[in-house]
Amino acid sequence: MEKILDRFLRYVSVDTQSDENSESQPSTEKQLTLLQMLRDELLALGVEATLDEYGYVMGSIPSNLDREVPAVGFIAHVDTAPDASGKDVKPQIIENYDGGPVDLKGVPGLALKPEEFPEMLHYIGQTLITTDGTTLLGADDKAGVAEIMDAVQYLVEHPEFPHGPIRIGFTPDEEIGRGVVKFDVKRFGADYAYTMDGGEIGELEFENFNAASAKIRIQGRNVHPGYAKGKMKNAILIGQELNGLLPVEQRPEFTEGYEGFFHLIHFNGTVEEAEFSYIIRDHDRAKFERKKQIIREAAAFINGKYGEGTAKAEVRDQYYNMREQVEPHYHIIEKAVKAIEMAGIQPKIQPIRGGTDGANLSFKGLPCPNIFAGGLNFHGKMEFVPLESIEKASEVILNLIRLFAGQ
């Protein structure tokens, strides 16, 4: 078998950054490079696999049992986040990590430090894979891709391993919230599935944020500043005033656990006009709806003060909390807990302070909780993943397959 480390390094060498400003599917042509590679690797292993026009790779392994059992799917996304470059990734392999700082050699003076990232100390003695400080690593979610492919290769090379129908899915554009917009659940053919897209080893998640985006456009009035009294309306300052109407304690930097937030992610403006972009998040549906209303009320207040049409708020839902769709099928959570325990790991069931393809898939009729892929500090140059966590995640996949086969 190809070593899982070699497989992972091969995948992160492909630039697959998605682009939220693109209207195409996939959002970037370069994602298809890895998607085609994965389709071809599945075919080379003797696995039936296709790549469709939307960038979805679907693979199918028939059951080798003499009885009927549910078809189980495993899904990971190939794209990396727009937040940091995924081009020319140069991973560093730190064997037998000693608990000290790790220099990121592509940027002099930059280092991963345990005093800033204390979770590093959980992995003393293990092999850490880090960035060189110039790009992200891509463990989100190429670790998940490697784990699934490693498990597939094991099944192919061990035909005696008992399993029911297995479905494999690789998707583009998860990082920009469009990962499964056109994913054909019926064609995929799984009864249940798991995304391998979580973080630290042991994580198991079946709750995620309800999510919305908000764009607020401010129309100002520009007048020569020497003659502006009583006439000028500065769109930048009005936008700042609107932002000040939102609860400060509900910003991401002040929240944790089940606490939701308003997050200002982009601002662009002049005196004449400005635009403020937010993401809105909350696990609780009622609180989520209230947050959206607060945005609208803030815009209405501004219009009442400065004139109708000064602020225009556009609020769009993105995804919802998968819990309501997964909980009626709680046995798939129980199987995941057991599979993690069988690998000698303590399961950590916790809410996702984000979202996954699994959330949207669950609302499409495919219950799909999320299992750890092993990485930490996603979306930036401080990203790293312990090799042993990747290996354990692949083991968990095989354990789940065994459990669904009734073994």
Q: Which residues are catalytic?
A: 79, 174
Strands of 92-94's sheet, edge to edge? 92-94, 128-130, 384-386
290 near 281, Cβ under 8 Å?
no
Which amino acid, 16?
A: T
Q: Do 120 and 112 touch, CB atoms closer than 8 A?
A: yes
